[in-house]
Amino acid sequence: MRALTVSEIIRLWETAYRYHPVDRALSMLQPVLPDQSRDELAALSIGQRDGLLLALRRATFGDVLPGVNQCPVCASLVEFELSCQSLQSGATPPHPEQLTEGGYKLMIRPLNSFDLADVAMAATESESHTVLLQRCVSEAFYQDQPVEPGALPMEIEERIAATALAADAQAETLLDVSCPDCQHRWQSVLDIAHVLWLEISARAQRLLHEVHVLAKAYGWHEAEILELSAERRAAYLQMAIV
Ligand SMILES: [Zn+2]
């Protein structure tokens, strides 16, 4: 996986801010995976997508991902560091999982970006819940008779959610956090698509500020300034500011 270039970072920031987060995640991958169509990227499981986003984050901004959480007990801010590479590795590849319970036999498949986009279009929470169920249950039988995924009992729905996660382990990255002040321990979810988007936005705005300073100081054009290596840009910036 290669890094996003500075021009790609700025282009992403100026276009993708208006997209839904599901589309934004795919837009971040598009420039570095030009051989894959948008539909091919959308068909990847969410775990596969997040694995690629972690690789992209590592290539663009480095392996160490700083995190911060507020302790739910004493409200202290807990800072920690994650490694994109270790978060990426070791996850079981996405696969269909069978769920058998109380006479029901279901086949659960990993969710992808098409599914999440459909869920996002649902008007109510209960409608999005139904869409999610219909999408991840690819086959449903009760005592060997086919049944509608929408007509499954409440008790089995919780098992479906857990099974869907087992089918795509990388889709939910849980972090174990512990508070150094009160020793409380909890789990926090890492949304790599959201984190990477915030980093891309911040970097794009910083790049534009650098363009502004250098263009004003030397009369160079935006494209010329962005073509400079990061080291040269930093050196000129220092001279321009002094
Ligand atoms: Zn605490």
Pair (221, 160) in one structural domain? no
pLDDT value at residue 66: 94
Domain boundary among 116, 146, 167: 167
Q: Last residue of some domain: 132, 149, 167?
A: 167
CA angle 41, 43, 45 (to 5 degrees): 95
Q: State whether 191 and 222 are in the same domain.
A: yes
159 and 115, same structural domain? yes
- Mark whether 68 and 33 lie in a shared domain: yes
Range of the domain at 233: 6-91+173-237
Q: DSSP character for 45?
A: B
Is 242 part of a structural domain of the chain? no
Distances (CA, A) of 219 to 110, 211, 216, 224: 53, 10, 6, 10
Separation between Cα atoms, residue 84 and residue 89, nearest integer Å = 9
Residue 1 lies in a domain: no
| Ligand 1 center to 182 CA (angstroms) | 4
User: Does 30 reside within a domain?
Assistant: yes
Q: Are residues 37 and 10 in the same domain?
A: yes
Number of domains in the chain: 2
User: What pLDDT was estimated at residue 173?
Assistant: 87
Q: What is the pTM of this model?
A: 0.91
Same domain for 68 and 140? no
Near ion ligand 1, which residues have CB within 5 Å?
71, 73-74, 76, 179, 181-182, 184
Quote the ligand 1 centre to 147 CA distance (angstroms).
48
Q: What dihedral angle (degrees, nearest 10) is formed by the CA atoms of 97, 137, 141, 101?
A: 50
Burial zone of 10 (CB within 10 Å; 0-12 exposed, 13-18 middle, 19+ buried): buried
pLDDT at position 134 is: 86
Domain identity same for 53 and 110: no
Is residue 68 in a domain? Answer: yes
> Does 105 lie in the same domain as 87?
no
**How far is ligand 1, taken at its centre, from the CA of residue 186, in Å?**
10
Is 191 part of a structural domain of the chain? yes
Residues 87 and 16 in one domain: yes
- Rounded average pLDDT per 10-residue block, the chain, 242 residues: 96 95 97 97 95 97 95 95 88 89 93 93 88 90 90 86 88 91 94 96 97 96 95 95 78
Domain boundary pick from 146, 167, 188: 167
Same domain? 74 vs 103: no
- Note whether 121 and 229 are same-domain residues: no
CA 73 to centroid of ligand 1, rounded, Å:
5
Are 183 and 84 within one domain?
yes
Contacts of 184 (CB under 8 A, 6+ apart): 71, 72, 73, 74, 178
